[in-house]
């Protein structure tokens, strides 16, 4: 008897070019595997060893022109409650199927509620995600501020001027002076493990030649979740969009160009909907590989 087989796609998210952006594995589970245990899903994610593996289970659609799925995301070590690039990759994989080509809108039931992905009209293949805003909180303790500054400096191997620090859900958001070359910095992620956060966002208003229109750049480090550096982190922009909108006096509803400054790099367009508490995240994604996994 042959081993059970799962079909997968590898999708590079937040890029229109293969071998850049953030790769995610996407698996649409067949009915025979809908009951796979969390332990099994973690084992599969560890086998792929990408920053995220997305698992989808088709669900009955509730409206015409829409497909509906259950969606879970896993790093190689943990399940996460929200993932931008894994959602974008899932949407691209679905929209590439014969069934997906017939619709413009997807609904995903997730640990963060219902998330919507839709094709951007006239957007050259871009997909828009509708995500919840991450609430920003000030650090009120001088000791916490000092620790954040010291840890960032230790990670980059030198003194870095920190201009702002915010708690943002599972993230710690740290703005550094634009005089610091965040894009080319060689980072030792081990100091970040001393902070009580799932991931560290380091961000700056420094211009980048890779995307001249970008209003800010950022890098995300998550050693606590088994990901040294996340090449492009969509969910981090649920905090970055309101943060930079306020810092740069960008009006809600205005499109903000952003650049993730990892080695692979990635581009996002953001729209902060202040009144509804949502962030619309637009990006491209390309399928680079399809294959079979034998269980």
- Opening angle at CA 247, ends 167 and 22, nearest 5: 65
Q: Where are the beta strands (DSSP E) in the chain?
A: 5-13, 22-28, 52-59, 66-74, 79-80, 105-110, 113-119, 127-132, 137-138, 162-168, 171-176, 199-204, 216-222, 227-230, 255-260, 266-273, 278-283, 285-294
Q: How far is CA 218 from CA 3, 18, 151, 259, in A?
A: 43, 21, 17, 7
Alpha-carbon span 59 to 47, nearest angstrom? 26
- 52 is annotated as an active-site residue: yes
Distance, CA of 22 to CA of 234 (rounded, Å): 10
| 117 token code pair | 């992905």
Catalytic residue among 47, 52, 107, 229: 52
Tokens of 10: 């590898």
Q: Which residues are catalytic?
A: 52
């Amino acid at each position: 008897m042959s081993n059970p087989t799962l079909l997968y796609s590898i999708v590079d998210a937040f890029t229109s070019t293969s071998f850049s952006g953030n790769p995610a594995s996407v698996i649409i589970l067949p009915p025979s595997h809908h009951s796979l245990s969390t332990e099994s899903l973690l084992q599969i994610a560890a086998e792929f060893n990408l920053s995220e593996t997305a698992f989808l289970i088709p669900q009955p659609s509730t409206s015409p022109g829409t497909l509906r799925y259950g969606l879970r995301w896993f790093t190689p070590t943990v399940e996460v409650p929200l993932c931008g690039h894994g959602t974008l990759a899932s949407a691209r994989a679905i929209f590439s199927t014969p069934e997906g080509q017939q619709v413009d809108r997807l609904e995903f039931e997730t640990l963060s509620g219902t998330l919507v992905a839709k094709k951007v009209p006239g957007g050259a293949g871009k997909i828009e995600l509708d995500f919840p805003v991450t609430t920003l909180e000030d650090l009120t303790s001088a000791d916490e501020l000092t620790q954040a500054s010291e840890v960032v400096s230790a990670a980059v191997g030198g003194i870095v001027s920190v201009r702002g620090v915010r708690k943002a859900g599972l993230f710690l958001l740290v703005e550094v002076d634009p005089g610091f070359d965040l894009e080319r910095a060689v980072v030792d992620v081990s100091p970040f493990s001393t902070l009580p956060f799932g991931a560290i966002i380091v961000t700056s208003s420094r211009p980048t030649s890779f995307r001249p229109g970008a209003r800010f750049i950022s890098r995300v480090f998550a050693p606590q979740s088994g990901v040294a550096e996340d090449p492009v982190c969509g969910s981090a922009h649920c905090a970055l969009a309101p943060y930079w909108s306020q810092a740069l006096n960008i009006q809600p509803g205005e499109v903000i160009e952003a650049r993730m400054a990892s080695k692979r790099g990635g581009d996002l367009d953001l729209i902060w909907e202040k009144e509804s508490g949502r962030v619309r995240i637009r990006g491209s994604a390309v399928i680079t590989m399809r294959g079979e996994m034998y269980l």
